[in-house]
Amino acid sequence: MNAPAPKPWILDIAPYVPGRSKTDDGRQVAKLSSNENPLGTSPHARAAFATADRSLERYPDPAAADLRVAIGQAHGLDPARIIYGTGSDEVLHLAAGAYAGQGDEVIFVRYGFAVYEIATRRVGATPVIAPDKDYATDVDAILSCVTERTRVVFVANPNNPTGTYAARSEIARLHAGLPSHVLLVLDQAYAEYLEPAEDDHGLELAKTQPNVLVTRTFSKIHGLAAERIGWGYGSAEAIDAMHRIRAPFNVTTAGQQAAIAAIRDKGFVEASRAHNRQWRTWFEGEIAALGNAGLRAVPSKANFVLVLFDGPVSAGDAYQALMGRGYIVRWLPGQGLANGLRISIGTEAEVRGIAAALREIVGG
């Protein structure tokens, strides 16, 4: 007898590998593997979250109306054109699901976010990988991948796992070079870590250009990763299409309430950005000082740094040695980055500690 057969393109998916929180021997140590906020969560968000137990028996607001209004106020957006998801991961899947299918092509960069490939294959579309330019997004390479079959281009800016950033003029050039039938998904999961002058104007593009969708998350600077809340801004048509396929109650009540308080707490966001700026700069300096041991930091605009290992100690060896010293980072051989470690900017003690550990490990 034949068993039910999953679709072949589903079996082509390499499952997402999450950042680890424990060592091989089960110790809970400094987790610098998932780009979470080392300052925690806004106290206002925590307090709002705690009120949600009053309505545990009720479904959450399926329209996330108050959350959309709060996002609209924070960014000057029309709440009707905001989609929300169980993390921005869901919004990325919704974009692929609404715009691509079998026979279509979806472009993303070589060292791009792992979810793009999963979202592309899930709908039976074909992933097309644009080569990088020293780990960074290469607009010309993306444009030269475009064919009649291209339906979606995913670009994270800043990018994960590289931390690299494409300037406003490059994003504008990318958009201008794309045919109007191609949806440009600008994934801004780390946008709040940019200085205001570095804003790539993705939301401005999304306001006026029907083929631009911007995605954002509450998981990173807002410190709400546990609640899984993301959102997107696009044309009325795109938002309508994505609403048709999202899960009906895809953002929890506690999550909606916490997110509303979080996006209003500008002080917490600013403090998180300042902490990140200070300690990322410091950490990049420490890596530069280990250049003679073959280490190099890819210039980062995010809350993590990709450190490349080109000396006697390999990234894989350093990964194990760091784990032995109580630091879990992200080693991504499955994404073609066997030579690098992605290290999240943690607390001051964690950043100082991992820099000292690395120095010992590579003998700088």
Q: Which residues bind ligand PLP (CB under 6 A)?
A: 35, 87-89, 113, 156, 160, 187, 189, 217, 219-220, 225, 230
If the CB atoms of residues 115 and 238 are measured against ligand PLP, the closer one turns out to be 115
If the CB atoms of residues 276 and 286 are measured against ligand PLP, the closer one turns out to be 276
CA distances in angstroms from 99 to 168, 185, 202, 255, 311, listed in the order given: 25, 11, 19, 28, 44
Distance from C-alpha of 331 to C-alpha of 333, rounded to nearest angstrom: 6
If the CB atoms of residues 230 and 255 are measured against ligand PLP, the closer one turns out to be 230
To ligand PLP, the closest distance from the beta carbon of 128 in angstroms equals: 18
Distance from C-alpha of 55 to C-alpha of 28, rounded to nearest angstrom: 33
To ligand PLP, the closest distance from the beta carbon of 75 in angstroms equals: 16
178: three-class secondary structure by DSSP: coil
Distance from C-alpha of 32 to C-alpha of 248, rounded to nearest angstrom: 33
If the CB atoms of residues 113 and 309 are measured against ligand PLP, the closer one turns out to be 113
Residue number of the CB atom closest to ligand PLP = 87
Distance from C-alpha of 282 to C-alpha of 300, rounded to nearest angstrom: 12
Query: Please, are residues 313 and 361 in contact by the beta-carbon 8 Å criterion?
Result: yes
Edge to edge, the sheet with strand 304-309 lists 295-297, 304-309, 337-344, 330-332
Question: Rg (Cα) of the chain, in Å, rounded?
Answer: 20
If the CB atoms of residues 93 and 293 are measured against ligand PLP, the closer one turns out to be 93
Q: How far is CA 166 from the centre of its chain?
A: 15
To ligand PLP, the closest distance from the beta carbon of 53 in angstroms equals: 23
If the CB atoms of residues 293 and 304 are measured against ligand PLP, the closer one turns out to be 304
To ligand PLP, the closest distance from the beta carbon of 87 in angstroms equals: 2
Query: Please, are residues 90 and 246 in contact by the beta-carbon 8 Å criterion?
Result: yes
- Residues whose CB is less than 8 angstroms from the CB of residue 143 and which lie 6 or more positions away in sequence, other chains included: 174, 177, 178
To ligand PLP, the closest distance from the beta carbon of 129 in angstroms equals: 16
To ligand PLP, the closest distance from the beta carbon of 31 in angstroms equals: 14
If the CB atoms of residues 87 and 346 are measured against ligand PLP, the closer one turns out to be 87
Q: How far is CA 200 from the centre of its chain?
A: 16
To ligand PLP, the closest distance from the beta carbon of 112 in angstroms equals: 8
